[in-house]
Amino acid sequence: MALIVQKYGGSSVGSVERINAVAGRVLKTVQGGNSVVVVLSAMGKTTDGLVKLANEISSNPSRREMDMLLSTGEQVSIALLSMALQELGQPAISLTGAQVGIVTEAAHTRARILRIETQRIEQQIQEGKVVVVAGFQGITSTKELEITTLGRGGSDTSAVALAAALRADRCEIYTDVPGILTADPRLVPDAQLMTEITCNEMLELASLGAKVLHPRAVEIARNYGVPLVVLSSWTDDPGTLVSSPTPMARPLEGLELVHPVDGVEFDTNQAKVALLRVPDRPGVAGQLFEEIGRQQVDVDLIIQSIHELNTNDIAFTVSQESVNQAEAVAAAIAPTLRNRLDSAPEEAEVMVDRTIAKVSISGAGMIGRPGVAAKMFATLAEAGVNMQMISTSEVKVSCVVDAQQCDRAIDALCQAFEVSSSSLQSGSSQGKAIAPNTPPVRGVALDLNQARVAIRHIPDRPGMAAKFFGVLATENISVDTIIQSQRCHIVNGVPTRDIAFTVARNDAKDARRVLVPLAAELGCGEIVVDEEIAKVSIVGSAMINHPGIAAKMFNALARERINIQMIATSEIKVSCVVDRESGVKALQVIHAIFNLAGSQKIEVPV
């Protein structure tokens, strides 16, 4: 007999009819010989309605009272479902977060789960009941009983945390879409359902998938190895399996990571190749990486900086064994890249550094926590480590440092984030087996809500990035993709570099406001903000074993004459910033080039 946790979202319990349908589905699962724990969201848009009410009374309501208010929505739906089950003759009991004993941090409206007491639920299951638990809520302690909520969309997290605590056989997340799709079907009409995706891929697709699955839920599933399925409550289709390799045993205490960072990773088998002053026109990155891919050289990080005087710098890392080959390709291409429009044409230049290491921090806890990257930069600065390249993705910040400083960097980061380190060998699949038929690209995403900010001519010494991202964090501005360029400009005898990053468009003005005085104080150049950008990304764990994937993406964009303004990568993700007008087209051509299109039209509710 299996124990299954089923979570139903707001639209799945939006009406009495829908609640009865859910009761029917739960009953069927019980009749199949399973024990069932159900986790519910509030009915339909109840929570939005409660937020609106609060805002009519106060523009800045106390967070504690918000939790008192918002947690009521789930209490309605669980009682109704329990009644519906009882009507069908199925014994059931509804329990609030407090009644279960879902203990969280004392952070109102954004609490993380620390532990879940399971005795009461287990007792009820023993008695043959379906237990219906209120999602999204907890309490600060079983004595104080202060009600907390987990943040909007948090009932997915409640469900997966319960599944982990109860060691359930699987956790099913029922929603109003058939599962995880390869792209947003409103922009890409032939997007198709994925049958499977890994937790790591899902986390990198957070901006695509967050509406379907709360990233914190994905992280718990990965950390505790909870088999997770996302499926529609309207059909009997199998949905998408969100898989993870068997994890190391972890204590259930401190269940949701209190640490925003999950681990420090490093790779000392890397070398850096940079192509400086390449013309800023579509096709250059594609040409370069296509040739490198043809030679079966696997590229790891790729970074392209913003353009300046009509030229770009492209820097990338490869394994030590491949660096000569990569250098030869770059050297062969450089002379062909004369910028014909430039009045004083300078030839592109190749630079190679064989003594580098890549150091990264990873973890879903950094989503929405602007202080994490800043803390990494500050930690490295304090340790006297200079960052030569920076590239970030949704759940990872990677820095290229001098190989001799690698150990120092790792020690400092492990201490600062209270985690242990692990080695990544470039070119391997990080020890995780990738099934042979896994497509190299699993899904694509478009983010139209970002602006690009560049800080010019930052003196190249430890501590500068830490200062800039520190003040952004203090202002609570979340930074998305960060890259640090390769080129060194000498300004007044001091070598300088540019750093560019993206932020939510709403935050661009604030970012500029705090950065301008700091840049002046630190002797940097101007702050350039571009709000007319889009970010397109491809994600897939198997791209590690497939040279040429990035090239294929760059070439697809070039064929549409779409210029790439910025490139940032992680092991399993490539993101490009393009101009905003080209965003949707970029998404569509990338989706098509990786054969992600399906033949079945997938309907999603608006």
Binding site for ligand ASP (CB under 6 A): 9-10, 41-42, 47, 73, 135-136, 152-155
Nearer to Mg ion, 9 or 470 (CB): 9
Residue 561 backbone class (left: φ over 0; alpha: ψ -120 to 50; beta: rest): left
Q: Which residues pair with 228 in a beta bridge?
A: 171, 242
Question: What's the closest the beta carbon of residue 138 comes to ligand ASP, in angstroms?
Answer: 12
Nearer to ligand ASP, 154 or 225 (CB): 154
The CA distance from 159 to 214, in Å, is 11
Question: What's the closest the beta carbon of residue 11 comes to ligand ASP, in angstroms?
Answer: 10
* Residue 154 site contact among ligand ASP, Mg ion, none (CB < 5 to 8 Å, cut-off depends on kind): ligand ASP
Element housing 352 (H / E): strand 349-362
Residue type, 475: E
Nearer to ligand ASP, 67 or 291 (CB): 67
**DSSP result, 51-107:** HHHHHHH-SS--HHHHHHHHTHHHHHHHHHHHHHHHHTT--EEEE-HHHHTEEE-S-
Nearer to ligand ASP, 47 or 182 (CB): 47
Cβ contacts of 326 within 8 Å, gap of 6 or more: 271, 273, 292, 297, 299, 316, 318
Question: What's the closest the beta carbon of residue 203 comes to ligand ASP, in angstroms?
Answer: 18
Question: What's the closest the beta carbon of residue 158 comes to Mg ion, in angstroms?
Answer: 11
Q: Which residues pair with 31 in a beta bridge?
A: none
Nearer to ligand ASP, 216 or 277 (CB): 216
How many residues does the structure list for the chain?
Answer: 606
Interface residues toward Mg ion, by CB under 5 A:
9, 153
* Residue 179 site contact among ligand ASP, Mg ion, none (CB < 5 to 8 Å, cut-off depends on kind): none
Question: What's the closest the beta carbon of residue 245 comes to Mg ion, in angstroms?
Answer: 26
* Residue 47 site contact among Mg ion, ligand ASP, none (CB < 5 to 8 Å, cut-off depends on kind): ligand ASP
HSE at residue 400, side-chain half, CA atoms within 13 A, is 28
Give the dihedral of Cα atoms 428, 429, 433, 439; nearest 10 deg.
Answer: -120
* Residue 10 site contact among Mg ion, ligand ASP, none (CB < 5 to 8 Å, cut-off depends on kind): ligand ASP
* Residue 583 site contact among Mg ion, ligand ASP, none (CB < 5 to 8 Å, cut-off depends on kind): none
The CA distance from 496 to 490, in Å, is 6
* Residue 73 site contact among Mg ion, ligand ASP, none (CB < 5 to 8 Å, cut-off depends on kind): ligand ASP
Question: What's the closest the beta carbon of residue 135 comes to ligand ASP, in angstroms?
Answer: 6
Nearer to Mg ion, 41 or 223 (CB): 41
**Pick from 108, 126, 121: nearest CA to 159:** 121
Question: What's the closest the beta carbon of residue 43 comes to ligand ASP, in angstroms?
Answer: 9
* Residue 269 site contact among Mg ion, ligand ASP, none (CB < 5 to 8 Å, cut-off depends on kind): none
Phi and psi angles of residue 359, each rounded to the nearest 5 degrees, phi first:
-125, 130
Nearer to ligand ASP, 153 or 178 (CB): 153
